[in-house]
Amino acid sequence: MKKPPRRRKTKDAHLLGLGLDNADGHKRLTAAEQFTIVGGSDETHTKMTETVIKTFEELKTRGKHLHAVEPQELAEIIYKSTPR
């Protein structure tokens, strides 16, 4: 008897942002299905969260998923999405 074809497992991918400039003692954590932002000052944490959200919006616009995008392309998207 012939075995049914195996389905490929989708690779898991997750972005992790780590802020190191926290001086006020406040613990900050923002987590979602595909990203986690930990630490940082209020300003840094907010900027990192905004960057990641814009990054996922751009990926959606391009019709791509985090696990399928090349590292160089992801770096360019993140750079473009970073608030100045």
**pLDDT per residue as tens digits for the range 36-84:** 999 999 999 999 999 999 999 999 999 999 999 999 999 999 999 998 8
Global pTM value: 0.82
Token couple for 14: 């997750």
Sketch the domain layout of the chain as residue ranges. 15-81
**Amino acid residing at 43:** E
Can you tell me the mean pLDDT for 2-29? 84
First and final C-alpha spacing in the chain: 61
**pLDDT per residue as tens digits for the range 19-47:** 999 999 999 999 999 999 999 999 999 99
Closest alpha carbon to 25 in 36, 39, 46, 7: 39
